[in-house]
Chain A
Amino acid sequence: MSRRTRDRVSAESSARDPISRWLDVFVPLLRLPRAEAGRIRDELEDHLRTRVDDLLILGMSEPEAVQKAVTELGETARLARSFRSVRTSSRGRIAMYTGLFVVAGLALTVGVAGILPRPQSVPSREVLAAASAQPEAAAEKTLGVDLPEGTLEGTLTTIAEATGARLYVHWSAFEGSSGIGRETEVGAIPAKNLHGSKIREILNSMLGLSGPQALAVRVEGDLLEVAPRDYFDRIEMVTREYDLTSLLGEWPPLEITTEAGALRDGLREMVEPELWTDGNGAIVIHGSLMAVRAPERVQGMVAEYIDRIKARFEANQKTQRDRNAQRHSRVMESLPKLEAQLDRETAELEAVRVELWKSEYRRQDLEEAFRSAQDEAVRSARLDELARASADHESIVQKRDLLTDAINRTRLGIQHTQGEIGFIRALLEPGEAASR
């Protein structure tokens, strides 16, 4: 079949089946040369139709089969980026996650190239409009219109007409989760109230939508997808790994440690709690790696949470290191003092020992003199001297013993201080300890 014929067939099929309409939306997002984009279109069309054939055999209805086949391809814009990255791997990816119909603050421009359904031409959950305006033009366009009271679809259509882009609204997802639909009534929003605010937030407030059921949007090029937040969460599930080495150590045990468990529990409690209990989110800690399965939106929050914990942990570590460094300085200062004290005490002990020797000699001399004296008066005087010398000797012995005890205590103090220095050095970073 020639390219022209296939284009004609494609154009004809666009008018009647959802796969072709999905491809019509998808292919421009590729932003690839026509021939290359055409080949990708053909291949994906074959994939989708073959898949639908299989699902029909399994007993699904055709709408169900088509929906499942398209959903399996993943988020449209992400898929397009995957193809584009093959061709332009060096180019930075442009992933705009922006609020729906952001009226850009100061410039009061519509910050998206989003559009809304043209209900008369397409069914729900299909591409709703193909505006002719280019995304660049839409981005520069000031909304500048009042949004009158009416249906949600009408309100969005008004916005669409003021901008110009392609739109894909997942109406059924709204109906399933919150009962919101095309006919849901929306109050008037004067243009003057749109200064610097987000229409998405206003609509969510008017419709009473919040949390998983809140209105959410993804923008890629000139395509706008509108769906409940939990819809995007489901299809944007990704698994990311986070390095926890700085928190859990280089080679933590493979079992969940108390620290790892506390980190995981804290994460579950602080970041989107319902995702880990009611949703498909999962956290697995393996050694120093934490794998988190969560929507891209939540991965950013997880990364932020981990960064905060790391920052606090590192701050605590720094405080502890500073304290240890101060303690190290203190004990390093006390060591020379103790060593000097030991020197003094040792010298004093040596002097006392000399004194003791002298005293011992004197005592022996007096005993000899006492024994050799014949005169009773002299013997009595020698005996008195001997008694005083013995008392002096005893006091010197006591002094020696006290000094010996003091020296032993000082030596113990030095040993303790040296041990403390070694302990603190082990706590400190090797480089820091070495520098001290």
Chain B
Amino acid sequence: MTTPAATPGPLSRTHAELVILSLLAEGPAYGYALTKQVASRTGGGLRLQPAVLYPLMTRLEKQGLVTTSWEEVKSQQSEEDAPGRRRKWYTLSGKGRRRLEAQIEAHRRFTAMIESFLPGGERAGVSA
């Protein structure tokens, strides 16, 4: 039976935050790079949609979970003297790192609970 979770598709907001914080734990990134990393690591199975990503990044920034900086870049197609555009980089803050650790723990406990119901799963270990 096909389950919704097994169906490739857009990343939910709940999971998006966990994924984004995890990616930023590996190093700074900008929005489009995050969408590409999600797509490439999941073979296109999951999509981090811009409509989810950018408002979420704004929220993370307001909550102090990420810090931001700007860089001026130029399009590959633009001419040498053409004006550049601004790229916003995100870096995980200490607060963001703590939030990530808490989310990973919560996610693992949740996953363990779900797995305990699956055939061959064990109910032990969910009371931690």
Contacts and interface: CB of A to CB of B under 8 A. Distances in A.
Nearest to A8: B83
B49 A85 contact: no
B59 A46 contact: no
Among all A-B residue pairs, the 6 with the closest Cβ atoms: A82-B55, A74-B51, A42-B86, A50-B32, A43-B88, A86-B58
Interface stretch (B20-28, B70-78, B92-100): B70-78
A291 B4 contact: yes
Nearest to B52: A82
21 contacts: A5-B83, A6-B83, A9-B83, A42-B86, A44-B50, A44-B54, A46-B73, A47-B31, A47-B32, A47-B54, A52-B75, A53-B77, A79-B51, A82-B51, A86-B62, A87-B58, A239-B4, A255-B1, A284-B3, A286-B4, A291-B4
Interface in A253-270: 254-256
Interface residues of A, number: 36
Contacts of A50: 32, 75
A106 to B, nearest CB: 38
A147 to B, nearest CB: 36
A394 B62 CA distance: 103
Contacts of B85: 42, 45-46, 49
Chain B contact residues (Cβ within 8 angstroms of A): what range?
20 to 34
A86 to B, nearest CB: 5
A78 interface: yes
Interface of B: 1-4, 7, 30-32, 36, 49-52, 54-55, 58-59, 62, 70, 72-73, 75-77, 83-88
A85 B51 CA distance: 12
A53 B1 CA distance: 40
A79 to B, nearest CB: 5
A284 B9 CA distance: 14
B58 A72 contact: no
Interface string A33-66: 0000001101111110111111010000000000
B72 to A, nearest CB: 7
B88 A46 contact: yes
Residue from the set A1, A49, A53, A255 with the largest chain B CB neighbour count within 10 Å = A49
B55 A86 contact: yes
Residue from the set A1, A79, A82 with the largest chain B CB neighbour count within 10 Å = A82
A62 to B, nearest CB: 8
A40 B58 contact: yes
A83 B54 contact: yes
Contacts of A1: 72, 83-84, 86
A73 interface: yes
B87 A74 contact: no
Contacts of A239: 4
Residue from the set B50, B62, B73 with the largest chain A CB neighbour count within 10 Å = B50
A46 B3 CA distance: 36
A83 B83 contact: no
Contacts of B55: 82-83, 85-86
A311 to B, nearest CB: 27
Nearest to B117: A254
Given A1-B72, A284-B4, A40 B50 contact: no
B49 A74 contact: yes
